[in-house]
């Protein structure tokens, strides 16, 4: 089983490919559909995701895996083909979001801990039978506003690190590769150096917890935030600084045994997420595959182009395929604005 886990984890970050995060909860996708005037129903959610999964060439050439929500893992396409089979037939690996969301952390006002460990072993066994081959669990780490250094506290980081490690151990027990996702949010007014500090502290605690829970690092994938200025910060770091500090932070905290690091976009624009990933790969030789696991940064353009209309399907698929190709190039460090404009 160890060899199988390691092979899947390596493939998930393969050069030229990345992961499509299509695991929005019902509440989150309802908000996105509201933005384009489409009612969120089981059928409309199925139709939208099926459209992405059937995009000619995108999954085969640029997408290594797809993270699904529980509902989607169980759904079939309009012609009766299970969506999991559509993904597998295209050469991508199906995965499943397994956490139950971030909740208020008792005794730590303003901080969160992700729940979902109760009954997880049994859910994982079912997910494997349904075709999933990896899992994803997101922890949320906020940074205090106005220079408040009490958030995040070590208690919050430790609680989330422990939960991530427990889910990772349980996932591997069931033959599933865990995506460990400790997200330091970019919502605040902090500068890039404060983000570096919190990200380093978080990753170090996460890997200590993974060690204590006997997680096979070779059979796991890390999904971290990039080291960025907070969205409300007056001084925004440039692309090269983001790339340099993100890689430097990872080298301080992430063991080389981890095969793949797939970044979340975390509220960046489509082009920012691509440019930052490209700069990291163009300027650095790292012990890990550096790739992407984007949700909104892959889906915003196709969602807008689709608008819930069947006639818009080709335009939406073209938009999705374009973003997948651009990010695939970024994993090689070969993306450029000229290529964006040439393909537009």
Assign 3-class secondary structure to 90-126.
CCCEEEEECCCCEEECCCCCCCEEECCCCCHHHHHHH
Q: How many CB atoms lie within 10 A of CB 128?
A: 16
What does the block give as tokens for 59? 């999954």
What length does the chain have? 344
SS3 24: coil
pLDDT value of residue 210: 98
CATH code given to domain 2-343: 3.20.20.70
Alpha carbons 171 and 215: distance in angstroms, whole number: 9
- The catalytic position among 17, 97, 112, 223 is 223
pLDDT value of residue 178: 98
Look up residue 219 and give its DSSP letter.
G
The answer to whether the beta carbons of residues 8 and 177 sit under 8 Å apart is yes
Residue with tokens 């450029």: 336
Half-sphere exposure (Cβ direction) of 165: Cα atoms closer than 13 Å? 20
Half-sphere exposure (Cβ direction) of 76: Cα atoms closer than 13 Å? 5
Half-sphere exposure (Cβ direction) of 292: Cα atoms closer than 13 Å? 36
Specify the DSSP element, H or E, that contains 244.
helix 239-253
CA distances from 344 to 274, 299, 313 (A): 15, 16, 17
The answer to whether the beta carbons of residues 297 and 273 sit under 8 Å apart is yes
Q: Angle 240-241-244 (CA atoms, 0-180°, nearest 5)?
A: 85
Residue with tokens 């012609």: 79
The answer to whether the beta carbons of residues 113 and 82 sit under 8 Å apart is no
Residue with tokens 């983000």: 195
- CB neighbour list of residue 1: distance below 8 Å, 6 or more residues apart: 172, 175
Active site residue 218: no
What does the block give as tokens for 314? 């080709």
Render pLDDT for 135-166 as a digit per residue (tens, 0 to 9): 999 999 999 999 999 999 999 999 999 999 99
**pLDDT in 10s for each residue of the chain, 344 residues:** 899 999 999 999 999 999 999 999 989 999 999 999 999 999 999 999 999 999 989 999 999 999 999 999 999 999 999 999 999 999 999 999 999 999 999 999 999 999 999 999 999 999 999 999 999 999 999 999 999 999 999 999 999 999 999 999 999 999 999 999 999 999 999 999 999 999 999 999 999 999 999 999 999 999 999 999 999 999 999 999 999 999 999 999 999 999 999 999 999 999 999 999 999 999 999 999 999 999 999 999 999 999 999 999 999 999 999 999 999 999 999 999 999 887 65
What does the block give as tokens for 4? 């199988």
SS3 74: coil
Active site residue 309: no
- The catalytic position among 24, 50, 111, 181 is 181
Alpha carbons 137 and 115: distance in angstroms, whole number: 9
Alpha carbons 180 and 259: distance in angstroms, whole number: 13
């Amino acid at each position: 089983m160890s060899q199988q886990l390691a092979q899947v984890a390596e493939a998930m970050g393969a050069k030229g490919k990345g992961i499509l995060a299509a695991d929005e909860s019902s509440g989150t996708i309802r908000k996105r559909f509201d933005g384009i005037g489409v009612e969120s129903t089981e059928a409309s959610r199925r139709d939208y995701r099926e459209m992405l999964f059937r995009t000619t060439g995108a999954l085969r050439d640029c997408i290594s895996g797809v993270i699904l929500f529980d509902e989607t893992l169980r759904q079939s396409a309009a012609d009766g083909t299970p969506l999991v089979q559509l993904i597998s037939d295209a050469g991508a690996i199906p995965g499943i979001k397994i956490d139950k969301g971030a909740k208020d952390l008792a005794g730590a006002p303003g901080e969160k801990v992700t729940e979902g460990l109760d009954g997880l072993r049994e859910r994982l066994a079912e997910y494997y039978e349904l075709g999933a081959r990896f899992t994803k669990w997101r922890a949320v780490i906020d940074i205090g506003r106005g220079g408040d250094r009490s958030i995040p506290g070590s208690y919050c980081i430790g609680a989330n690190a422990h939960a991530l490690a427990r889910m990772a151990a349980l996932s591997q027990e069931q033959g599933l590769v865990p995506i460990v996702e400790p997200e330091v949010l970019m919502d605040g007014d902090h500068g890039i150096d404060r983000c570096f500090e919190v990200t380093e502290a978080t990753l170090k605690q996460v890997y200590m917890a993974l060690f204590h829970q006997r997680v096979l690092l070779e059979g796991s994938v890390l999904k971290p935030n990039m080291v960025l200025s907070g969205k409300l910060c007056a001084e925004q770091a440039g692309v090269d600084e983001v790339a340099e500090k993100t890689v430097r932070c990872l080298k301080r905290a992430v063991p080389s045994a981890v095969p793949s690091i797939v970044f979340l976009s975390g509220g960046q624009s489509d082009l920012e997420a691509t440019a930052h990933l490209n700069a990291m790969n163009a300027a650095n030789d790292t012990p890990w595959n550096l790739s992407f696991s984007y949700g909104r940064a892959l889906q915003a353009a196709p969602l807008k182009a689709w608008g819930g209309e069947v006639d818009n399907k080709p335009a939406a698929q073209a938009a999705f395929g374009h973003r997948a190709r651009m990010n695939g190039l970024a994993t090689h460090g070969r993306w450029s604005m000229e290529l964006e404009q040439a393909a537009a």
